[in-house]
Structure 1
Amino acid sequence: MTKKVFIFDDNRDILELCTLILEGAGYETKTSCTSNDIVSQISTFEPDLILMDNWLPDVGGIEATQELKKHPKYKNIPVVYFSANNDIKTLAETAGAESFLSKPFDIEELEEKVVSLIGR
């Protein structure tokens, strides 16, 4: 079965880039520019992994990730937090994310991170 990745980022270029990379690597993807109502957004797609940007309008990445991690059904979905913030490790820890990726990221680095968390 194809693994699914949900990408949250308010930057369309990043969404397109991640979609190209991950679909090229054989994953199914879905994207969103906001993390509002994160539980209802992911419930229709049920991803194996979530890529979460830090700066999102309305509900930020930290708040959305924390909300997800409190949810009994979705709390075990690994979240990769990604941001250009220098303090990304602390942000990811605060959010409760399993991993993080600094922007700008390398294509191979993104693929390796996803594969290491959910396989092919």
Structure 2
Amino acid sequence: MNKIVYIEDDPDLANVIEMALSENYDLLILYDAKNIVEKILSFMPDLILIDNYIGVTQASEVIAEIKTAKSLAHIPFVLCSGHADIKTIAINISASAYLEKPFALKDLYNTIETVLEKSI
């Protein structure tokens, strides 16, 4: 079973994603970026889903911190955001893909599978 970390500060959205993914994936939900590298290292996911803002911290900062750990640098990530310019942000931070909020669950599933297939 593939492992996914979802970094999202909105508990309601995190719960929806947990219900949608927990049957088919081993899922770890993180609500903030505190000790992010240690938490992700202990889980070693195949994919990271991340909101563009975790509180006041931007995804670019969180991803940069995660990528400093050599054993995490290869993990693909998907940016999730309702930001009007999500495509540009995703390109600028080298996201493997992006999902514009609100997104349909079928788009979430398709994006995850596409990114996971490319990372094999």
Q: Same fold (TM over 0.5)?
A: yes
Unaligned runs of 5+ in 1: none
Cα distance per residue 1:17-42 (max 9 Å; x no partner): 11111123x10101011123321120
- The aligned residue for residue 37 of structure 1 is 35
- State the shift of 1:46 in Å: 0.6
User: What is the letter of the counterpart of residue 106 of structure 1?
Assistant: A
Partner of 1:113: 111
TM-score (ref. length: structure 2): 0.90
C-alpha separation between the residues in 1 aligned to 2:45 and 2:17? 15
User: Which residue in the other structure is 1:3 paired with?
Assistant: 2
Q: CA deviation at 1:108?
A: 0.4
**CA distance in 1: counterparts of 2:87 and 2:5, whole angstroms:** 21
Which position in structure 1 is the counterpart of 2:69? 71
The aligned counterpart of 1:50 is 48
Q: TM-score, normalised by structure 1?
A: 0.90
Aligned residues: 117
SS of the residue corresponding to residue 29 of structure 1 reads: strand
Over the aligned positions, Cα root-mean-square deviation in angstroms equals 1.4
Distance change in 2, residues 1:70/1:96 (3 Å): farther
Task: Note if contact 1:21-1:107 (Cα within 8 Å) is conserved in structure 2.
Answer: yes
Q: Aligned to 2:81, which of 72, 80, 83?
A: 83
Runs of at least 4 residues off by over 3 Å: none
Deviation at 1:58, TM superposition (A): 4.7
